[in-house]
A = this chain, B = another copy of it.
């Protein structure tokens, strides 16, 4: 995290808007896509979305809206 004066996790997320990310859900499913936007509930809109399970692409959606309460973590791809 080059810019170390990030105060809150929300600052962290703002920094990776528009960038490719991995979103892992509780269920172990990963989504890879461009982080278009997100809100305070961690609801996420992804673009060019791929669904991965155990490293293999199982589906692709283009745009996808993911409900925040399912999210385990988000990290830059």
Contacts and interface: CB of A to CB of B under 8 A. Distances in A.
Nearest to A42: B67
Q: Interface residue tally of chain A, by bracket? A: 35 or more
Given A6-B37, A37-B7, A72 B12 contact: no
This chain: how many copies in the complex? Answer: 7
A74 interface: yes
B68 A74 contact: no
Contacts of A52: none
Contacts of A67: 42, 68, 71-73
Nearest to A34: B1
Contact of A74 (B25, B26, B62, B64): B64
Given A62-B75, A72-B70, A75-B64, A9 B43 contact: yes
